[in-house]
């Protein structure tokens, strides 16, 4: 499973890249606002940091405007994935941009039917939002499972990019079900290494080592 990091914090991206934990990056207008930087400048920098897809989101609502914005964003670097919302206009934009050979990430997916439409429109990635479904007392993992089954039934090439990841359990379940990609904030990716028994084991080993009076260096 590929790991995308969901941030516009270039320092965090570099840290995770150097550990081999970044296969791509996703951004959105909220993350750009949080960075306090110019959108085009920060996305260009991210594209230089990572070789994999970097999702840059359009803000227009009409298909023609989305297409124009998508083309502008795609000029930043060859690894740009234009991010469009899962609306009818977004699907129209996806079809055109995909036809021009551009990667497209269709975002804000909340149902299997939406995911089916995105695949039919040629999306490179579909982004189902797990956490936001959990917020309204639905199981976001059910959606990942449904999309996986549908895509496998018809050999769709659209990759399932599980988004709105909020916990290590989300990551593990996505891996179990077979999501192609997860995108998560840096802190969630870092937290995958944590387990209380690991910490307990280290403390025990160090306590015993101290009693030996030995040193390695």
Alpha helices in 50-124 (DSSP H): 63-74, 88-99, 112-120
Catalytic residue status for 72: no
Which residues neighbour 214 within 8 Å (Cβ) at sequence distance 6 or greater? none
Instruction: Provide the 3-class DSSP secondary structure of residue 180.
Output: coil
Nearest to 33 by CA among 25, 42, 24: 42
Please pick, among 83, 92, 120, 200, the residue that the annotation labels catalytic. 83
Nearest to 182 by CA among 168, 198, 200: 168
Q: CA 9, CA 30: separation in Å to the nearest integer?
A: 12
Give catalytic residue positions.
83
């Amino acid at each position: 499973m590929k790991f995308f990091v969901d941030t516009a914090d270039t320092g965090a991206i570099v840290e995770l890249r150097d550990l081999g934990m970044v296969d791509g990056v996703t951004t959105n207008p909220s993350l750009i606002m949080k960075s306090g930087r110019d959108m085009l400048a920060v996305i260009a920098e991210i594209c230089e940091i990572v070789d994999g897809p970097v999702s840059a989101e359009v803000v227009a609502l009409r298909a023609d405007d989305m297409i124009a914005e998508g083309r502008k964003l795609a000029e930043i670097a060859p690894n740009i994935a234009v991010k469009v919302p899962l609306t009818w206009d977004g699907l129209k934009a996806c079809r055109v941009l995909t036809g021009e050979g551009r990667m497209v990430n269709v975002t804000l997916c909340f149902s299997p039917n939406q995911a089916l439409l995105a695949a039919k429109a040629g999306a490179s990635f579909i982004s189902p939002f797990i956490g936001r479904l959990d917020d309204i007392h639905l199981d976001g993992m059910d959606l990942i499972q449904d999309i996986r089954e549908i895509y496998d039934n018809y050999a769709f090439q659209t990759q399932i990019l599980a988004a709105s990841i909020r916990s290590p359990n989300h990551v593990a379940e996505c891996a179990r079900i077979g999501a192609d990609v997860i995108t998560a904030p840096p802190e969630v990716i870092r937290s995958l290494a944590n387990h209380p028994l690991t910490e307990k084991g280290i403390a025990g080993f160090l306590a015993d080592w101290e009693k030996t009076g030995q040193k390695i260096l």
